[in-house]
Amino acid sequence: MVSDVIIIGAGISGAAIARELSRYKLKVLLLEKEAEPAFGVSKSNSGIIHAGTQNPPSSLKGWLCVEGNRLICTQIASDLGLDFVQCGQLIVVFDLADLPELEKIKKEGEELGVKGLEIVDRAWLDKNEPNLGPEVKAALYVPSAGIISPYRFVYALVENAVKNGVRLLTSRRVTAIRRKETNGFEVVAGGEVFRARFIVNAAGLFADEISALAGAPTFKIVPRKGEEYLLDKKREHIANHIIFPLPSKTSKGVLIIKTSDGNPMIGPTAHDTLDKTDLSTTDEGLAEVLAGARRMIPSISAGDIIAYFSGLRPVAGKDFIIRHEAAAPGLVNVAGIQSPGLTSAPAIAVMVADILKAHGLKLDLKEEFHRLRPRPVHLFQVSPEETRQLIAKNPAYGDIVCRCELVSAAEIRDAIKHGARTLDGVKFRTRAQSGRCHGGFCTTRIMKIMREELGFPVTAITKRGPGSELIKDERQ
Amino acid sequence: MAAALAAREAGVRDVLLLERDQHLGGILNQCIHPGFGLHHFKTELTGPEYADRFARLVKEDSGIEVSLRSFAVKLTADRRLSYLRPGALEEVKARAVILATGCRERTREMIPIPGTRPAGVYPAGLAQKMVNMEGWIPGRQAVIVGSGDIGLIMARRLALEGVAVKAVIEIQKTSRGLVRNVVQCLEDFGIPLYFQHRVSMIYGRDRVEKVAVVKVGDDLKDIPGSGFEIPCDTVLVSVGLIPENELLEMAGAEIDRRTNTPVAKEVNLTSIPGVFACGNAFKVYDLADWVTRDSALAGKMAAQYLNGAAL
């Protein structure tokens, strides 16, 4: 099969680009090396929809972030049934001598078009963010920032893209790319050969390797590790905003992040590493994150932590790399998409479509584009009356599988019908296993439902793809 | 079940017994080892046998309505309870409520053990459920973190299934489990138990590949240079239980945040009149027999409350 465009990588960038291109009369193939979309960099994203502050006004990521924020707030969140909460953000200072720094962030944000920025004093903070510690002296209030579920954002984009004709193939690691003499490429992935006129490289941590395979070794990705720690849902109301300290040179610092599922999160650390697979957490990381978070909200304790993970930011210099590569005509790189990549993704997608058009791809709108994606049901979000209506339609909504997060058998089956193939895929879509018991009670039940729905033996059920099988043997 | 039966015996006419699983007995059903009933029945039973003795009595009693696969989602201080079951969201107003909701396991995340997050790290009770309820063998070489009773029982259980149990790692100087379990589950099977050690790292991207272990001093701090590694594909975590009192907390009862148990001046009581908590939800017991004894008392206390007697 020959495609117009092959997108390599089904993370947030690849997913947004796939959906954007699905508006047009094009054959688009989305290749993902992992078992499911969002299993790379996007999985560990903190879910913040940034306003656009803390980026230089001249930067690419600055304006893409502001535009991405606008697209998410005004169209995408409602079109795709996403839980987006515009809770706002505070950038706090511990020393009034740092106020000029806040003024600078405010001024640069305003240059980029960020609205509603306001420096607030301790009295304002006492009223609106009462758990802040005594060290906090003032803050910049950023009302347009918000939170979203990063993986459900990716799943929604991919589902909608597929609905509009994009072909998704998972477990297809790209191992070779051959440029043909006339034009276009042959991409070898998972032992199969795929042909296309254009390649969009959205391969996250591996974007440098993919670009080199295609003939453009023009940049290097350096992973920057971040450890994040999730707190119990009981601590949901510990903060009303996303809280940042004044940023340092390498990162935005240790934050207190509200999440769209209720559990507050603290983190991330920011340490460069050489290993693109190093997703370990460390004693030192935990100590650093706790100290950073407690400086802002002292009542946070180690006992509040119910989960933790590490993510790797794909860093390629200071700014995003989004460009056509003259060294490999037909290759568009979307690389170095670290923060604020999640927010920027819808704007990046539009930019990539424009680049493709400028290099000869014809963009004719389809007669019918399915803009809307129905919102998946989450029992923990609905009223008793709605719960009754759901149960009346499907009794399995009354059959609770995950007790900590209130997830029913109907929701698990629905997640599998929408593409979940692994235990983590079920977790990210439904929240089952992500509560305080960590799957202690529900894991076997979920595995049995997966066995039923997917029709493969329980020994083949994995946590996140081949190699991560959960059990070794099944006794008859 | 003990509370329901005792409440009936003390004169309560109408008892609704809600169970989220598809059968009565809770966690006893996966405890297929012996050691239950020595005090209560003066004979040694397995967990399922012990549960079955109560289940038979419950089923014979027409004054106890059993609702299986029923999951309580909400409790209020005036004892209105909502529960979900396949096909319905039910609401019931009770004159007295007894919470016998048991415990959940502390997890790897609560210690916390650093490292990667591969498949093969399980709470010991989940592994027990896999092996005993489903016939699923989680791995081939296991390391067990913590020497609580579930960890000890699972060390023997896995050994019997042909799994190489490489070590039990305990950070304290002594086991938190019963002496008989240390002897019968580890010593009899030649499984090494390392006191004053901790797992300092879990390795492996997709599946556990090995753990790092380090000796700790009396202050629980690592002793430099004492580290070593154990190759394994499975890590079972048995580091204690947390009483499940989220419903009680939702109803507004006072909860000790350190132990997650109700603040009460006497066994089985909570800060809400007419709402009782018993068994492992009230405090973590070491024997099911003592759970039965105190839960029966809870049933009696609820009956007295309904009769207006002073508590």
Distance CA(A85)–CA(A147), nearest Å, equals 5
Contact (CB<8Å) A462/B137: no
**B266, amino acid identity:** E
Can you give the length of chain A in residues? 476
B193: left (phi over 0), alpha (psi -120 to 50) or beta: beta
- Please, are residues A49 and A107 in contact by the beta-carbon 8 Å criterion? no
Distance CA(B265)–CA(A336), nearest Å, equals 60
- Please, are residues B167 and B230 in contact by the beta-carbon 8 Å criterion? yes
Mutation choice for B interface testing from A228, A279, A433, A468 by most B CBs within 10 A: A468
pLDDT tens across A162-211, in order?
999 999 999 999 999 999 877 899 999 999 999 999 999 999 999 999 99
C-alpha distance from residue A105 to each of A79, A112, A154, A267 (Å): 32, 11, 30, 21
pLDDT tens across B190-239, in order?
999 999 999 999 999 999 999 999 999 999 999 999 999 999 999 999 99
- The sign of the dihedral angle between the CA atoms of A427, A457, A32, B203 is positive
Backbone φ and ψ of B134, nearest 5°: -110, -20
Nearby residues of A372 by Cβ (< 8 Å), 6 or more positions away: A79, A80, A81
What does the pLDDT read at residue A261?
Answer: 87
- What ipTM was assigned to the predicted interfaces of this complex? 0.96
Mean of pLDDT values over A302-306: 89
User: Is position A50 annotated as part of the catalytic site?
Assistant: yes
Tell me the residues of chain B between 106 and 165 that have a Cβ less than 8 Å away from chain A. Answer: 107-110, 112, 114-120, 122-123, 125-126, 129-130, 133-140
Mean of pLDDT values over A251-267: 90
Position A260 pLDDT exceeds 90 = no
A57, HSE (Cβ side, Cα atoms, 13 Å): 11
C-alpha distance from residue A204 to each of A90, A425, B96 (Å): 29, 19, 57
Contact (CB<8Å) A467/B205: yes
The tokens 């059920």 sit on which residue?
A461
What does the pLDDT read at residue B310?
Answer: 46
Mean of pLDDT values over A343-348: 98
Contact (CB<8Å) A399/B69: yes
**B199, amino acid identity:** V
Burial group, residue A368, by CB count within 10 angstroms (0-12, 13-18, 19+) = exposed
When the candidates are 1.10.3720.10, 1.10.10.1100, 1.20.120.450, 3.40.50.2300, the CATH number that belongs to A379-460 is 1.10.10.1100
SS3 content of chain A, % helix, strand, coil (to 5): 35, 20, 40
Q: How far is CA A264 from the centre of its chain?
A: 16
Percentage of chain A beyond pLDDT 90 is: 92
**A123, amino acid identity:** A
- Please, are residues A199 and A8 in contact by the beta-carbon 8 Å criterion? yes
Q: How far is CA A434 from the centre of its chain?
A: 17
Nearby residues of A123 by Cβ (< 8 Å), 6 or more positions away: none
Q: Give domain B107-237's CATH architecture.
A: 3-Layer(bba) Sandwich (3.50)
What does the pLDDT read at residue B110?
Answer: 87
Backbone φ and ψ of A342, nearest 5°: -60, -45
Mean pLDDT estimate for chain A: 95
Backbone φ and ψ of B116, nearest 5°: -85, 180
CA angle B107, B112, B118 (to 5 degrees): 70
Contact (CB<8Å) A306/B88: no
Mean of pLDDT values over B58-87: 97
Tell me the residues of chain B between 17 and 46 that have a Cβ less than 8 Å away from chain A. Answer: 20
Distance CA(A48)–CA(A243), nearest Å, equals 11
Position B44 pLDDT exceeds 50 = yes
pLDDT tens across A21-79, in order?
999 999 999 999 999 999 999 999 999 999 999 899 999 999 999 999 999 999 999 99
C-alpha distance from residue A433 to each of A237, A305, A362, A469, B271 (Å): 22, 15, 45, 17, 31
For the domain covering B2-104+241-306, report its CATH number.
Answer: 3.50.50.60
A306 at interface of B, judged by CB pairs closer than 8 A: yes
Q: How far is CA A243 from the centre of its chain?
A: 19
Mean of pLDDT values over B28-41: 97
Percentage of chain B beyond pLDDT 90 is: 96
Structure tokens at B282: 């009230």
Nearby residues of A355 by Cβ (< 8 Å), 6 or more positions away: A322, A323, A324, A332
Distance CA(A450)–CA(A409), nearest Å, equals 11
pTM (predicted TM-score): 0.94
Nearby residues of A317 by Cβ (< 8 Å), 6 or more positions away: A219, A336
Domains of chain A, residue spans? 2-43+150-221+318-358, 89-143+222-314, 379-460
**A401, amino acid identity:** V
Position B311 pLDDT exceeds 60 = no
Question: In chain B, what residues touch A444 (CB-CB under 8 Å)?
Answer: 126, 129-130, 133-134, 136
Question: In chain A, what residues touch B107 (CB-CB under 8 Å)?
Answer: 306, 437-438, 440
B201 at interface of A, judged by CB pairs closer than 8 A: yes
Structure tokens at B35: 């050691």
Q: Which helix (H) or strand (E) holds A167?
A: strand A167-169
For the domain covering A2-43+150-221+318-358, report its CATH number.
Answer: 3.50.50.60
Per-residue pLDDT band at B309 (split at 50, 70, 90)? low
Can you give the length of chain B in residues? 311
CATH class of A89-143+222-314: alpha beta
Q: Which of A346, A353, A370, A350 is nearest to A71 (CA)?
A: A346
- Chain region(s) in chain B for CATH 3.50.50.60: 2-104+241-306, 107-237
Directed axis angle between helix A341-358 and helix A150-163, to 10°? 30
DSSP state of A94: S
A230 pairs with which residues across the strands? A265, A307
Tell me the residues of chain A between 386 and 405 that have a Cβ less than 8 Å away from chain B. Answer: 387-388, 391, 395-396, 398-400, 403
Nearby residues of B187 by Cβ (< 8 Å), 6 or more positions away: none
Mean of pLDDT values over B24-50: 97
**B156, amino acid identity:** R
Reduce the DSSP state of residue A75 to 3 states and report it: helix
Three-state SS string across chain B, please?
Answer: CHHHHHHHHCCCCCEEEECCCCCCCHHHHHCCCEEECCCCCCCCEEHHHHHHHHHHHHHHCCCEEEECCCEEEEECCCCEEEEEECCEEEEEECCCEEECCCEEECCHHHCCCCECCCECEEEHHHHHHHHHHHCEECCCEEEEECCCHHHHHHHHHHHHCCCEEEEEECCCCCCCCCHHHHHHHHHHHCCCEECCEEEEEEECCCECCEEEEEEECCCCCECCCCCEEEECCEEEECCCEEECCHHHHHCCCCEECCCCEECCCCCCECCCCCEEECHHHCCCCCCHHHHHHHHHHHHHHHHHHHCCCCC
Mean of pLDDT values over B262-277: 96
Mean of pLDDT values over B1-20: 97
Reduce the DSSP state of residue A187 to 3 states and report it: strand
Q: Which of B88, B89, B295 is nearest to B80 (CA)?
A: B89
Candidates B89, B118, B130; nearest CB to A387:
B89
Distance CA(A13)–CA(A163), nearest Å, equals 18
**β-strand pairing of B255-256 with B261-262:** antiparallel
Mean of pLDDT values over A102-125: 97
CB count in 10 Å sphere of residue B218: 7
Contact (CB<8Å) B85/A398: yes
Position A250 pLDDT exceeds 80 = no
